[in-house]
Structure 1
């Protein structure tokens, strides 16, 4: 199966996979080699968009969060669990916070980018102040890392600021925009509390 082709058809042609395709996809994701294959990225997205977050489906996708899974593939698992299925139990949020906390591991860059975006999305959706506090700390830590000329922190800082603005805009009916430079990100950072939740007194 060409998972990338099916994913594009689902996105742009409202294609629905057949039961036979779903069985083939599920068997592939359960196979031992799926965690080390780049094609699993599209396969996971197809699986999550075409399946309900039943316990066995969630458990199958969670196996792709493991440390030894290829980063790009792991990022699709994060997208599936938190952006497509929008899982939001206490343990789900705990796991997402753990993913965000690993931002400094260079081999997890794609996973970190996606986890940060999902954290901002769920922060607004669930009004979760734990996520808000963790994201405020993350923004401040990344800003400190910029001063140390950390190449890793630059992309994450810009993406975190953009995610902060974009998810705030979505939640508040404001116009969305895109930016990818530090100069555009800094005004969001300086006004960061606007894009987070008010702390409880």
Structure 2
């Protein structure tokens, strides 16, 4: 199966997978080595977009959150669980907080990008102040690393600022935009409290 092709068709053509494809997809995800293959990224996304978040399905996708899973595939599991299925139980928030805490680990770059976006999404949807506090801390940490000329964090910093703005805009009826330059990210950072939840006094 060409998981990438099927994912594109689901995304842009409202394609619905057949029962035979679903069976092959599930067998692939359950196979022993799937957590270590890059093609699992598209397979996971196809699975999440075409399945309901039953306990069995969630357990299967959570397999790809493992520490030794391929980062690219782990990022798809994060997106599938928290963006596609929008899971938000206490255990899910704890997982996201754990992923955010590991954002400076270069071996988890794709996972961190996915987790940051999902954390902003769930922060607004659930009005979760633990996520807000963690995201504020992360933004400040990334900015500190940026000032130390740590090139690794540039993409993370821009993505975090864009995610902060985009999810705020989505929740406040404002115009959404995309940016990928430091010069566009910095104004969001300087006004970062605006894009997070108000602290409890």
Q: What band does the TM-score fall into relative to the shorter chain?
A: over 0.9
Deviation at 1:74, TM superposition (A): 0.7
Per the alignment, residue 183 of structure 2 pairs with 183
Per the alignment, residue 70 of structure 1 pairs with 70
Per the alignment, residue 150 of structure 2 pairs with 150
Deviation at 1:91, TM superposition (A): 0.8
For residues 164 and 116 of structure 1, the distance between their equivalents in structure 2, rounded to whole angstroms, comes to 9
**Structure 2: any 5+ residue segments left out of the alignment?**
none
Deviation at 1:12, TM superposition (A): 1.2
Q: How does 1:1-201 map to 2 (within 5 A)?
A: 1-201=1-201
Deviation at 1:114, TM superposition (A): 0.7
Deviation at 1:193, TM superposition (A): 0.6
**Structure 1: any 5+ residue segments left out of the alignment?**
none
For residues 82 and 76 of structure 1, the distance between their equivalents in structure 2, rounded to whole angstroms, comes to 10
Runs of 4+ in structure 1 displaced over 2 angstroms? none
For residues 169 and 109 of structure 2, the distance between their equivalents in structure 1, rounded to whole angstroms, comes to 25
For residues 132 and 35 of structure 1, the distance between their equivalents in structure 2, rounded to whole angstroms, comes to 30
- TM-score (normalised: structure 2): 0.98
For residues 138 and 74 of structure 2, the distance between their equivalents in structure 1, rounded to whole angstroms, comes to 21
Equivalent pairs counted in the alignment come to: 201
